[in-house]
């Protein structure tokens, strides 16, 4: 994969850079040399009054509905706290508006590639401290922020050693289970609604039990009574065609980078390629989710997200 451009000129605003389209994490781990390249872009935003010394930065990734208003409310909080923010446009770069009804248009593997290319690029910016770059994401982007802490992905996508210093994940799909348990020591915070039926809390709880004994520095804050997108101002609605996860079904990634899932006792199917994912979906087409804001959870999350980065990215 082509290296991203250096930012020694200190530019801000829209920045285009090379990325790629791996379909699955399997391709990141085993087939990046043959993955098709794809140009992407992001927007580097800086505080109103930037300080003279290099500042911390948050790489931000949207969810399945693309960029939404409540995402930008968090971003404003981070800017006002003195952080630069790099807003990645994974969907817009690929001319996709939403993946709510088709999660194969843009995958988390593609978005992981986008954020690590951004990290490599931002690490060369004279106004940004490369040791204090964190990542945040919502839903699909929350999955990206969460699993960017898995070291084999980081090694494959940032071979120069660039790493995120903090991982903030809003209501992620925490369904991946790794045989190779090597995790970043950087703090991971997951904010999740107890009643989320799009990406169930049980998957997050299972992941924590799986990875914390292996050194992952992960914490979860649960909002009782809250659904998906609890930090928005939108009323609770039902999306009948949205694809949801089963709260008990996980995807295994073995030490060779092969992915599979046990769809019923004793029946294991591979999940490396697009046709295999389609076959799995045909077996268990889970559709229909709720999403919408909850005022108590929203107020807490807006403050909590800024406090998390202040605590972990400030000098």
- Is 276 within 8 Å of 269 (Cβ atoms)? yes
Rounded distance, CA 113 to CA 28, Å?
A: 8
Confidence of residue 285 (pLDDT cuts 50, 70, 90): low
Q: In this predicted structure, what is the pLDDT of residue 286?
A: 79
Confidence of residue 279 (pLDDT cuts 50, 70, 90): confident
Helices (DSSP H) in 148-247: which residue ranges?
Answer: 151-157, 201-211
Rounded distance, CA 198 to CA 230, Å?
A: 12
Mean pLDDT of 78-100: 97
Determine the longest span between alpha carbons in the chain, in angstroms. Answer: 60
- Secondary structure class of 281 (helix, strand, coil): helix
How many C-beta atoms surround the C-beta of residue 177 within 10 A? 16
Rounded distance, CA 117 to CA 144, Å?
A: 13
25-78: pLDDT as tens digits: 999 999 999 999 999 999 999 999 877 789 999 999 999 999 999 999 999 999
Q: What percentage of the chain has pLDDT greater than the value 90?
A: 88
Pick from 227, 226, 210: nearest CA to 218 = 210
Token look-up 């770069």 returns 93
Q: In this predicted structure, what is the pLDDT of residue 246?
A: 84
Residue 191's contacts (CB-CB under 8 Å, 6 or more residues apart) are: 168, 169, 170, 171, 220, 221, 223, 231, 301, 304, 305
| 264 pLDDT more than 90 | no
Q: In this predicted structure, what is the pLDDT of residue 284?
A: 65
97-145: pLDDT as tens digits: 999 988 889 999 999 999 999 999 999 999 999 999 999 999 999 999 9
184-222: pLDDT as tens digits: 999 999 999 999 999 999 999 999 999 999 999 999 999
Mean pLDDT of 162-179: 98
């Amino acid at each position: 994969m082509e290296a991203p451009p250096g930012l020694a000129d200190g530019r801000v605003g829209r920045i285009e850079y090379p990325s790629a389209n791996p379909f699955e994490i399997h391709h990141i781990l085993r087939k990046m040399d043959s993955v098709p390249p794809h140009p992407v872009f992001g927007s580097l935003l800086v505080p109103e009054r930037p300080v003279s010394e290099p500042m911390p930065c948050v790489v931000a990734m949207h969810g399945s509905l693309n960029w939404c208003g409540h995402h930008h409310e968090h971003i404003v909080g981070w800017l006002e706290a003195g952080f630069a923010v790099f807003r990645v446009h994974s969907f817009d770069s690929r001319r996709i508006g939403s993946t709510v009804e088709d999660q194969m248009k843009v995958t988390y593997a593609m978005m992981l590639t986008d954020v690590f290319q951004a990290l490599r690029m931002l690490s060369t910016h004279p106004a940004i401290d490369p040791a204090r770059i964190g990542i945040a994401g919502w839903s699909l982007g929350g999955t990206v922020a969460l699993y960017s802490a898995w070291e084999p992905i980081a090694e494959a996508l940032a071979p120069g050693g660039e790493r995120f210093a903090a991982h903030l994940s809003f209501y992620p799909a925490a369904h991946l289970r790794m045989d190779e348990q090597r995790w970043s020591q950087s703090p991971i915070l997951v904010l999740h609604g107890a009643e989320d039926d799009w990406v169930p809390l049980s998957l997050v709880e299972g992941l924590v039990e799986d990875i914390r004994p292996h050194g992952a520095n992960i914490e979860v804050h649960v909002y009782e009574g809250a659904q998906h997108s609890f930090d928005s101002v939108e009323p609770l609605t039902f999306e009948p065609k949205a694809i949801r996860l089963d709260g008990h079904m996980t995807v295994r990634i073995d030490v060779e980078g092969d992915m599979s899932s046990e769809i019923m006792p004793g029946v294991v199917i591979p999940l490396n390629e697009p046709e295999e994912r389609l076959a799995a979906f045909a077996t268990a087409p889970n559709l229909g989710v709720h999403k919408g804001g909850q005022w108590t959870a929203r107020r807490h999350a807006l403050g909590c997200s800024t406090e998390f980065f202040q605590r972990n990215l400030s000098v």
